[in-house]
Chain A
């Protein structure tokens, strides 16, 4: 990751001074928003395919079981190979993606046994793997931040602080040895604990130990006061590089395999018959979901990850019926949710409506004493904001939204009422029963409608010029006659499609 970060920084330094870049990167807001957006974009892209494959809950399962991969890889690294573990190390990411694929494999194995249903198989597999992970964490891992809080909601707000330092000028590394002037020597009792004696005891033996010896990177050396000239440093949050790579990988995967993904999602049997490997696509997708889930795990915890995968595509699904457009809208919605979600956590709805003032207004209005300050979990606020965007799509979508559906239904109902009355008049006018069947005063009774409803429909039809009332009976005008015929024709066409010769 380090060379990549350095490359990025050098690129950015073409446009910004070092001070500006540091200010940018060491702002919790910028880092959290950027990471949130990157996770939302990669999750929302993959989520489109998960949603369409009916695998929404798989992302939830994987986001939990990646913990097992992380823990096992961490234990292997620290206990077996003796290297320092770090949650952004490639080995942990590899372990996590293996665990993700393992979850899918285990689920499919249980399902294929024919003894459990598919949803139950998922419900069996992932708690098992997650439970093993939790036991391993509590039994063997005690010095890492794999704690409950991190698992629950992540620490996206602190992502800025976990950074790599990159030095560009005056880069002196310092090695402090025992004879270095800055070395801090302390006396340590060698046998106090073994003999159970106090260091004041005459039998106590001592050695001199150096408390701060070791190699100092320029950044550490400067902060420890070992350097005279300040090195030119840039602090780059570790999560940014990891999540950027995942986003790029996801983007490349979806762009390159767009056709293959579409086919194997819509009709896996045809994909297989044509020689594309839907199984391969399936597992590639699962590996990517696992990778993104690891990045997301660090930032937003394992429980909320599913929201980044599923809510944006669910919203996009309501807004379009073309896959390509859905793949464009879904990450946009996710990124907007992450961006405004940070504002929401800091008490700003959509960046300009201050929540505190809203609460204050409620307090004034009802004489309440609610706490006005608003400062809440960033990850939860991001999820809430993505959901708010989903709700907007659900209510307002021009084609599939709640409002447009209600309007369309109302229009159709009115149209239908009109046509029923017109057809009745059409069938009975100029017949012997016309006088009884078409008498306006009793017309409602034939339909079992209320007189009010019939009055409304007749008024509408007269206003449209479809009928005229002659001597208390309804008659079609020429226009109304044409309207009836047009309606019959379109209805016939809707049922009978053009034939084939």
Chain B
């Protein structure tokens, strides 16, 4: 808020390669503060890679990333990350509350253990995602949607400025999708910046006010109303794209 001119996330010339094959190529992207942004693109477009590289989780071949002008090492407390649900072992011997509390480990730092105040915060986040009754459950007893909401609660307790979410809507039921959208909107209303890897073209215009179309390179980025066009989608997906927009079937074909 102090620097309205400074983007919440600024990516410059970012390239990541797996085995010499570029996964994302020369990405330049500025995300203004307070937007709810979808990252959209075909499979293998490098959407998850973009998030992971921004958070220093995988090595970059080139480029730099800053959060409100700060490098990641100094901006950790500003950033929260919701990984893909399948990235962890849900048979791990722990409770829902414990997983949510893990979001506070960063603030606790090394050696300090979570106490009653951390418990309160975690319970509050579970309340927000509608899982308060599940706090003491073993995590393997959760449905897919509940797992996703547990991860969301874990990000909420971090009380960050910018949220990265890797496919939070993947294989969840309608109830969970609604719950997640509501949370995203709440975050947005509180001035947070939210980046979501998203697959469902149908809902992009409804859920998000900002969009980045990605296919290894950034095809287009900006307000959804300007950028989320059939022409851009066709460039992103390369072939035939069709989706419903305002109850109308939109189709674009490669020339």
Contacts and interface: CB of A to CB of B under 8 A. Distances in A.
A263 B110 contact: no
Given A52-B92, A267-B87, A275-B106, A499 B178 contact: yes
A500 to B, nearest CB: 4
Contact of A500 (B95, B133, B183): B183
Interface stretch (B76-84, B200-208, B210-218): B76-84
A260 interface: yes
Contacts of A52: 89, 92-93
B94 interface: yes
B232 interface: no
Contact of B138 (A260, A270, A275, A321): A321
B254 interface: no
Interface string B47-80: 0000010011100000000000000010010010
A253 interface: no
Contact of B93 (A260, A274, A275, A323): A323
Contact of A273 (B76, B95, B176, B183): B76
B105 A263 contact: yes
Interface string B156-189: 0000000000000000000110110011000000
A14 B92 CA distance: 46
A325 B106 CA distance: 24
Interface residues of A, number: 33
A25 B212 CA distance: 72
Interface string A156-184: 00000000000000000000000000000
B140 A497 contact: no
B178 A269 contact: no
Interface of A is mostly: helix
B92 A266 contact: yes
Nearest to A320: B93
Contact of B83 (A265, A267, A276): A267
Interface in A313-344: 317, 320-323, 325-326
Q: How large is the interface on B (under 10, 10 to 19, 20 to 34, 35 or more residues)?
A: 35 or more
Contact of B179 (A54, A265, A275, A500): A500
A267 B83 CA distance: 9
Contacts of B46: none
B219 interface: no
Contact of A267 (B56, B102, B111, B146): B102
Contacts of B88: 266-267
B83 A270 contact: yes
A491 interface: no
A490 to B, nearest CB: 14
B114 A274 contact: no
Nearest to B102: A263
A435 B175 CA distance: 41
A272 interface: yes
A369 interface: no
Contact of B110 (A260, A317, A496, A497): A260
A498 interface: yes
A500 B93 contact: no
Nearest to B138: A321
A265 B88 CA distance: 9
A277 B88 CA distance: 17
Given A260-B110, A317-B93, A500-B183, A269 B138 contact: no
A118 to B, nearest CB: 15
Nearest to A275: B76
Contacts of A274: 76, 105-106
A275 to B, nearest CB: 5
Given A266-B99, A270-B81, A501-B182, A323 B94 contact: yes
Contact of B113 (A259, A326, A496): A259
Contact of B95 (A256, A322, A498): A322
A262 interface: yes
A276 B105 contact: yes
Contacts of A322: 93-95
B87 A269 contact: yes
Contact of A269 (B81, B143, B145): B81
Interface string A275-306: 11000000000000000000000000000000
A114 interface: yes
A497 B113 CA distance: 31
B129 interface: yes
A54 B106 CA distance: 25
B117 interface: no
B250 interface: no
Contacts of A54: 89
B130 interface: yes
Interface in B98-124: 99, 102-103, 105-106, 108, 110-114
A500 B178 contact: yes
A260 B128 CA distance: 26
A269 to B, nearest CB: 5
A346 B81 CA distance: 57
A496 B83 contact: no
A500 B182 contact: yes
Contact of B89 (A266, A321, A326): A266
Contacts of B87: 267, 269
Interface in A1-39: none
B182 to A, nearest CB: 5
Nearest to A48: B93
A497 B94 contact: no
Most chain B CB atoms below 10 A, which of A270, A320, A321, A322: A270
A52 B139 CA distance: 14
A318 B179 CA distance: 34
21 contacts: A259-B114, A260-B110, A263-B102, A266-B88, A267-B83, A269-B52, A269-B57, A270-B83, A273-B81, A276-B105, A317-B93, A321-B138, A323-B94, A496-B175, A497-B176, A499-B175, A499-B179, A500-B129, A500-B130, A500-B178, A501-B182
Given A266-B89, A497-B175, 19 more contacts: A54-B89, A256-B111, A259-B108, A259-B111, A266-B99, A267-B83, A267-B102, A269-B57, A269-B81, A273-B106, A274-B105, A274-B106, A320-B93, A321-B93, A322-B93, A499-B130, A500-B179, A500-B183, A501-B182
